[in-house]
């Protein structure tokens, strides 16, 4: 089976600069790394897409199952000192970055933990890489920069100062977005919002 590299996840330390987060350079096992580039769903426009609108291939589906597992929930709870036992989750995929992406933000208050798993097999350079920031106004006041290559994973605690963004980048940029959220209903609301947002952005790009 393909999936997460649990040893790498267990070994990742919690860092506090510029806010609580952990980063794993390679969070996928070898089978997932080899298979995902060929089975990632076609996403033509910018925006976030639900798994219903962008169905993952079998290996990526196994990765999603790992993220939604009790084992991962318990691991993140231990790392961040949180009780995640009753938290609902959301999962979306992005395939491209557009002109409106990358602005500095903290994520919505509905989110408890935010996870980004990058799935770009031929990433090079630093444009478009996520920056965890110390300031809400300065994209260059960087506490940590997260590579966007295949298997690079970051998880961070959402707070009023969890500022992050990336430099302007237009083009393919594959990422799986996973969140623990504050209420069950948020899962449905978030999925609907992402679907409508993706459809609108696709129409604008057409």
Give me the pLDDT at residue 127, please: 86
Q: Are strands 88-97 and 171-181 parallel, antiparallel or unpaired?
A: antiparallel
Burial of 61 (0-12, 13-18, 19+ CB in 10 A): middle
Q: What is the pLDDT of residues 152-166, one digit of tens each?
A: 999 999 999 999 999
State how far Cα 17 lies from the chain centre: 19
The whole-angstrom separation of Cα 119 and Cα 192 is 24
Q: What is the pLDDT of residues 126-141, one digit of tens each?
A: 789 999 999 999 999 9
pTM (predicted TM-score)? 0.89
Which residues of the chain fall short of a pLDDT of 50?
A: 185-187, 201-206
**Domain-wise residue ranges, the chain:** 6-205
Domain 6-205 architecture: Sandwich (2.60)
Give me the pLDDT at residue 203, please: 45
> How many other β-carbons are positioned within 10 Å of the β-carbon of residue 185?
11
The whole-angstrom separation of Cα 43 and Cα 94 is 7
């Amino acid at each position: 089976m393909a999936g997460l590299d649990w040893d790498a996840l267990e070994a990742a330390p919690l860092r506090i600069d510029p806010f609580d987060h952990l980063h794993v350079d390679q969070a996928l096992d070898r089978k997932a790394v080899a298979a995902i580039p060929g089975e990632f769903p076609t996403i033509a426009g910018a925006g976030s897409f639900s798994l219903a609108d962008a169905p993952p291939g079998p290996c990526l589906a196994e990765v999603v199952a790992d993220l939604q597992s009790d084992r991962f929930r318990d691991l993140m709870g231990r790392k961040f000192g949180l009780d995640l036992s009753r938290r609902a989750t959301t999962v979306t995929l992005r395939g491209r970055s557009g002109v409106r992406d990358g602005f500095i933000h903290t994520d919505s208050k509905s989110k408890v933990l935010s996870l980004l798993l990058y799935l770009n097999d031929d990433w090079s350079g630093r444009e478009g890489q996520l920056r965890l920031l110390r300031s809400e106004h300065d994209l260059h006041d960087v506490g940590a920069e997260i590579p966007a290559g295949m298997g690079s994973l970051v998880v961070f605690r959402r707070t009023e100062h969890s500022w992050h963004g990336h430099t302007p980048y237009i083009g393919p940029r594959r990422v799986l977005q996973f969140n623990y959220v504050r209420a069950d209903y948020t899962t449905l609301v978030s999925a609907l919002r992402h679907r409508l947002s993706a459809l609108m952005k696709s129409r604008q790009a057409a």
